[in-house]
A and B are shown apart, each in its own frame.
Chain A
Amino acid sequence: MTVLMSGNEAIARGAYECGIRFASAYPGTPSTEIIEEFSKYEGVYAEWSPNEKVAMEVGIGAAVAGARAMVTMKHVGVNVAADPLFTVSYTGTNGALVIVSADDPSLHSSQNEQDNRNYAKFAKIPMLEPSDSDEARRFVKLAVEISETFDTPVFLRSTTRVSHSKSIVHTEEPQPPVDNTGIRFNAAKYVMVPANARIRRVFVEERMQKLKAFAEQFAENRIEINDPEVGIITAGMPYNYAKDVFPRYSYLKLGMVHPLPEEMIREFARRVKRVYVIEELDPFLEEQIRAMGISVVGKERFPYTNEFDPGVIAAALGETKKAPQAAVTTTVPPRPPNLCPGCPHRGLFYVLGKSKAFVAGDIGCYTLSFMKPLEGLHSCICMGASIGMAHGMSKALGRKGRGKVVGVIGDSTFVHSGITPLLNAAYNRSDALIVICDNRTTAMTGMQEHPATGFTLMGEKTQRLDLVALVKALGITSVHKVDPYDLKATEKIIRQELAAEGPSVVISDRACVLFKRERTEAGKPLIVDADLCTGCRACLGLGCPAIAWHKLEPQQRSGQTTPRKRGKGIAVIDGSLCNGCSVCLQLCKCGAIQGRGDRG
Chain B
Amino acid sequence: MTTGDTRSILLAGVGGQGILRASDILANVFMEAGLDVKKSEVHGMAQRGGCVTSHVRYGRKVFSPLALKSDVDILLAFEKLEALRYLDYLKADGSVIINDQEILPPSVNLGDLAYPADVVAAVKSAFPSTKVVRAEALARNAGNIRTVNTVLLGVLSSFLTGIDISIWEKVLKDSFPAKLTKVNLDAFHLGRSA
Interface residues in chain A, defined as those with a beta carbon under 8 Å from any beta carbon in chain B: 2, 4, 29-30, 33, 108-109, 132, 160-161, 164-168, 239-241, 243-245, 247, 309-311, 314, 319, 321-328, 330-340, 365, 368, 371-373, 444-446, 537, 540, 543, 545, 547-549, 551, 569
Contact = CB atoms under 8 A, between A and B. Distances in A.
A340 B116 contact: no
B63 A322 contact: no
B9 to A, nearest CB: 14
Given A164-B43, A332-B116, A337-B50, A323 B87 contact: no
Interface string B23-38: 0100110010000111
Nearest to A543: B106
Contacts of A132: 38, 65
Q: Which of B63, B108, B110, B115 has the most CB of A within 10 A?
A: B63
B2 A310 contact: yes
Nearest to A329: B122
Given A243-B64, A311-B68, 14 more contacts: A2-B31, A4-B37, A30-B43, A108-B44, A164-B42, A168-B36, A240-B65, A321-B68, A330-B84, A331-B116, A335-B106, A338-B49, A543-B110, A545-B109
Contacts of B90: 325
B162 interface: no
B122 A330 contact: yes
Contacts of A540: 109-111
B104 to A, nearest CB: 5
B164 interface: no
Nearest 6 pairs of A and B residues by beta carbon: A109-B44, A337-B48, A337-B50, A29-B44, A165-B40, A549-B111
Contacts of B125: 326, 328
Contacts of A371: 106
A333 B108 contact: yes
A331 B116 CA distance: 7
Interface of B: 1-4, 6, 14-15, 24, 27-28, 31, 36-51, 62-71, 81-82, 84-85, 87-88, 90-92, 104-111, 113-116, 119, 122-123, 125-126
Contact of A245 (B1, B42, B87, B105): B1
A217 to B, nearest CB: 26
B1 A319 contact: yes
A310 B64 contact: yes
A321 B109 CA distance: 37
Contacts of A338: 48-50, 106
23 contacts: A4-B28, A4-B37, A109-B42, A161-B65, A165-B65, A166-B24, A166-B40, A244-B64, A244-B68, A310-B68, A311-B68, A314-B1, A321-B69, A322-B1, A326-B125, A328-B84, A332-B81, A335-B14, A336-B105, A337-B47, A338-B48, A373-B110, A548-B109
Contact of B70 (A161, A321, A337): A321
B49 A545 contact: yes
A208 B169 CA distance: 54
Q: Which of B64, B67, B119 has the most CB of A within 10 A?
A: B64
A141 B48 CA distance: 36
Contacts, number: 185
Contacts of A311: 68-69
Contacts of B49: 335, 337-338, 340, 545
Contact of B41 (A164, A245, A324, A326): A164
A257 to B, nearest CB: 19
Contacts of A548: 104, 108-109
Contacts of A241: 63-64, 66
Nearest to B2: A244
Contacts of B85: 332, 335
A334 B113 CA distance: 9
A335 B37 contact: no
A336 B43 contact: no
A309 B67 CA distance: 8
Contacts of B4: 247
A373 B110 CA distance: 9
Contacts of A334: 105, 107
Given A333-B107, A446-B47, A543-B106, A324 B70 contact: yes
A380 to B, nearest CB: 13
Nearest to A106: B42
A328 B98 CA distance: 16
Q: Which of B4, B42, B81, B109 has the most CB of A within 10 A?
A: B109
B70 A323 contact: yes
A314 B44 contact: no
B38 A335 contact: no
B88 A325 contact: yes
Contact of B88 (A240, A243, A324, A330): A324
B44 A335 contact: no
A549 B110 contact: yes
Contacts of A326: 125-126
A261 B39 CA distance: 32
A363 to B, nearest CB: 12
Contacts of B69: 311, 321, 324
A247 B3 contact: yes
A252 to B, nearest CB: 16
A166 B39 contact: yes
Nearest to A371: B106
Contacts of B68: 244-245, 309-311, 314, 321
B63 A330 contact: no
Contacts of B37: 4, 167-168
Contacts of B65: 132, 161, 165-167, 240
Nearest to B38: A167
Contacts of A336: 50, 105-106
A333 B115 contact: yes
Contacts of B66: 161, 241, 309-310
A166 B109 contact: no
A14 to B, nearest CB: 18
A165 B39 contact: yes
Nearest to B116: A330
A340 to B, nearest CB: 6
Nearest to B91: A322
